[in-house]
Amino acid sequence: MRRLLWTILRPPFYLLAAIVILLEDFLWEPLQKFAAFIGHLPGLQRFERWVAALPPKGALAMFLTPTVVLLPFKLMALAAFARGMFVTGLLVAISAKVVGTALVARIFALCKPTLLTVDWFARAYHWINGVRDRTLALLRATAVWRASKALAAAVRGVFRSTDARPSLIKRLWRRAHRDLRDDRT
């Protein structure tokens, strides 16, 4: 029975795990850069230096802080789903995931050398990276991956200008700015 259940549940589980890994991988660097930008604000520079200088146990506590802080928001998302408010639950869950990823990425960048001195954390880090790399290798070998990469490139092309004309985002921003300015007069 257990084997049959695992045979049925394995493909959706792998798909969900792949989606989470891809989202984390996709969001990690841009969110880390954004959090670094925020961290360069005058009051936060001293805080970041303090975080970077934490001992291993303090670094672990700081690394786990976003999980604890964002848990109530994730529970609110579950409550919204349970009450049939799918869109609200989805927005809260996605927001909590993005904010949590940004915080964890920045804290990890600051504390990585210290965190990797903790044996079990270093083993877990290398194991997770190995699982991620194997999952990405499996996904990259699929036709769905190639099609999604082509679609992503096409979407990026819409938003990023490669010739002399401004990108769609810039044109929309300028139009909104002009409309706001016209409304004031």
pLDDT in tens, 103-121: 888 888 899 999 999 999 9
Residue at 137 is within a domain: no
Same domain, 15 and 63: yes
- Tell me: do 114 and 163 sit in the same domain: no
pLDDT bracket for residue 185 (50, 70, 90): low
First and final C-alpha spacing in the chain: 73
81 with 168, same domain: the answer is: no
Q: Is residue 45 pLDDT above 70, yes or no?
A: yes
Structural domains of the chain, count: 2
Q: Which of 65-74, 130-139, 170-179 has the highest mean pLDDT?
A: 65-74
Q: In whole numbers, what is the pLDDT of the chain averaged over residues?
A: 80
- Domain assignment present for 143: no
Q: Model confidence at 168, in pLDDT bands (50, 70, 90)?
A: low
Residue 108's Cβ-count burial label (10 Å; 0-12, 13-18, 19+) is middle
For the question of whether the overall pTM of this predicted structure is more than 0.85, the answer is: no
Do both 81 and 28 map to the same domain?
yes
Per-residue pLDDT at 62: 92
Confidence band, pLDDT 50/70/90 cuts, at residue 139? confident
Dist. CA 35–CA 139, nearest whole Å: 29
* Same domain flag for 127 and 181: no
Helix (H, G, I), strand (E, B) or coil at 40: coil
Is residue 79 located within the same domain as residue 27? yes
Return the residue matching tokens 């928001």.
Answer: 73
Q: Which residues form the domain of 80?
A: 2-132
Is the pLDDT confidence value at 127 over 90?
yes
Q: Return the half-sphere exposure (C-beta side, CA atoms, 13 A cut-off) of residue 18.
A: 16
